[in-house]
Structure 1
């Protein structure tokens, strides 16, 4: 008898171009739907994935010659959560410095004055339950969304009535 893995893994490798970000979003959306996430949670996951993938497309491979300019999206499906990793082999960045600048958008600041840098990371942090960034020989952005099951079972007979 084989040992069942802790998580099912689904992985895509995509060219680091903007027109492939939608494929990553669509794939992760389907995975999240299959796991039982609700509409709003799926929209949050899609937003986070799009931001992480867009960061790769826009920043990871700036003028780096000789590197294969691809990124991977890995989904780890666990019983109580979905972990999505966006992985590239491009140049790293000063995440600790970026983290210090992750602040909510203030209502007293005009939207034109909000700095673009770091806004994607702020959005990712605001919609996902846990976010970790590993910078070494590329960047791995690991984003976790926990599956919150309803307290009432979907098989509850008291809420539905069948007439014969």
Structure 2
């Protein structure tokens, strides 16, 4: 199978999230991914990157970057989100109690659940240089 790999790097700041969304959505559309899968992929990447910016990096960190590597072939899309923030494996996060979140009017806490719900596979590893690598896989259906 022919796979295409495309990489983008942006500063790890909230006002750059739209560039990441535009990149991911644009490549997915060009690749013929159906609209529902594109929406799910965009939501997962947005949540993952926002979590990195909000929780992984300290405000004064000098090298706050996020790198997105998209590998796409006819059967699947694999997104690897790379950062240098505080290590965190989202697979270890328990499902939140939604009723408790609502009752306490707590803001946030659902991002990882959304990622797990919208993607087919989630993996995490620390790279050779100590960076975090979140690997999100979506198995593809053809556009309708």
- TM-score, normalized by the shorter chain, greater than 0.5: yes
- Counterpart for residue 157 of structure 1: none
**1:18 Cα offset (Å):** 0.2
- Counterpart for residue 68 of structure 1: 63
Structure 1 runs of 4+ off > 6 angstroms? none
Give yes or no for contact 2:34–2:141 (8 Å, CA) kept in 1. no
1:143 partnered with 2:143: no
Counterpart pick for 1:92 among 87, 91, 95: 87
The 10-residue stretch of structure 1 (129-138 or 139-148) with the greater mean CA deviation from structure 2: 129-138
- Counterpart for residue 132 of structure 1: 123
- Counterpart for residue 12 of structure 2: 16
C-alpha distance after superposition, 1:74-116 (max 9, x if no partner)? 1001221111111101121364642xx124735xx46253765
- Counterpart for residue 77 of structure 1: 72
The 10-residue stretch of structure 1 (114-123 or 9-18) with the greater mean CA deviation from structure 2: 114-123
- Structure with the bigger RCO (C-alpha within 8 Å, sep 6+) is 2
Unaligned runs of 5+ in 1: 155-164
Q: Provide the secondary structure at the position in 2 that maps to 1:75.
A: strand
Choose 1 or 2 for highest CA Rg.
Answer: 1
Q: Provide the secondary structure at the position in 2 that maps to 1:57.
A: helix
Q: Provide the secondary structure at the position in 1 that maps to 2:55.
A: helix
